[in-house]
Structure 1
Amino acid sequence: MQTLKRYPSLSIALHWLIALLIIMAFALGTYMTDMSISPTKLKYYAWHKWLGVTILVFVAIRLLTRLTLGTPDHLGSLKPWEKSLASATHVTLYVLMFAVPITGYLYSYAAGFPVVFLGLVQLPAVLGPFPELKDSFKDAHEILTSAMAILVLLHIGAALKHRFIDKDQTLQRMLPGRTEN
């Protein structure tokens, strides 16, 4: 089997698409929560849910892609602790990319509001209205979202460190448009 020098094109495309969707969902979620109740706020909540469902689907595809197509080995120049930290960060990001939309979904249904993807397909409810758990799911969604935002910023910082301080190829292996393998 050939050793990968960079991530497969599908992994790269999914990485950047998911990153964009997460930024959009975070920005919309932050903005809409401070709005007073209105038709616009309800529309933004629907859009936020659509983004969450879309992220969940693409993250599942990304994980399957990672498991089937593989990933490049860590660069030899990395210290053992950097390799361990990078691996732990990736695992934690995947857990959060699943957990954030799932807790949002559970919060929505516990609050008595269905998730209707694109206004067309209602996702099945794993629980009905459950006012006693609504606030717990909301808190979990917010805490996990904050944790993910912090980890994403650290991930970006690490990529920039590799590019501008270490001057290695870590970031370039995830940039689109490069064809060498």
Structure 2
Amino acid sequence: MNQSVDQTQGTHFSLPARVLHWLMAAGILAMLFIGVGMVASVSEQHTWLLTIHKPLGATLLLLVCLRLIVRLVKGTPPLPADLPAWQRSAALASHWLLYLLMFAMPLIGWAMVSASGTPVTLIGAWALPAIAPENAGVFAVLRAAHRYLAYLLFATVLLHLAAGLFHGLIRRDGVLRSMLSNRA
């Protein structure tokens, strides 16, 4: 996954990496379901879901920044030595795709809301600054990008989950355990 492994880390992810991973997993799953609910609803439920979606997206953007820093500083445990090369490549590619999507989704959402002319309101009346010009055409492009990248994120999360279960239940090689606890 990452060649700059912290030698003190051994075969498990650091506690900050594990905490951030599971916080973000819960947040991303919540965002995916909230997003589906927003698309499926045109009632007052849509407005309520939107008031959750925006600050949660901003929170996830902050968490992914922290997570990337932890990953770069602490590294990741090595993959099993007997893992086929194609699986190593797939693991590396899928992890970096997840990071790309975890950054892209909230940034595109923020830009989309900015282009619609409405602020990303967080706690109370505090709002993030606009990062895109108010423009209906830009809004439409960003909205489509946000939707299609959400599908890609959902598919990538399912692949990530399947790979974790494969390692934990079939290969039993410690890869899943490395994200669950610090015990051998």
TM-score (norm 1): 0.93
Cα deviation code 1:133-169 (max 9, x no counterpart): 1110000001111101000000100111111111211
Task: Quote how far apart the aligned CAs of 1:37 are.
Answer: 4.1
Q: Distance in 2 between matches of 1:155 and 1:105?
A: 26
- Aligned residue pairs total 178
Counterpart for residue 9 of structure 1: 15
- Partner Cα distance (2:9, 2:87) in 1: 20
Uncovered stretches (5+) of structure 2, i.e. residues with no partner: 1-6
Aligned to 2:40: 34
- Identity percentage of aligned residues: 33
Match of 2:122 among 110, 117, 127: 117
Greater Cα offset, 64-73 or 29-38 = 29-38
User: What is the rounded CA distance, in whole Å, between the counterparts of 2:82 and 2:126 in structure 1?
Assistant: 49
Corresponding residue of 1:168 = 173
RMSD, matched Cα: 1.3
> Are residue 94 (structure 1) and residue 99 (structure 2) matched?
yes
* Structure-1 separation of matches of 2:78 and 2:16: 17
Q: How far, CA to CA, are the matches of 1:146 and 1:128 in structure 2? A: 26
Deviation of 1:120 after TM superposition, in Å, equals 3.5
Equivalent residue for 1:46, pick from 43, 51, 68: 51
Instruction: Give the AA of the match of 1:150.
Output: A
> What SS class does the counterpart of residue 171 from structure 2 fall into?
coil
User: Partners of 1:107 and 1:3 in 2: how far apart?
Assistant: 40
The one-letter amino acid of 2:143's match is K
Distance 2:158 2:172 in 1: 19
Match of 2:3 in 1: none
Hey, what's the Cα distance between the residues in 2 that align with 1:79 and 1:114?
Answer: 48
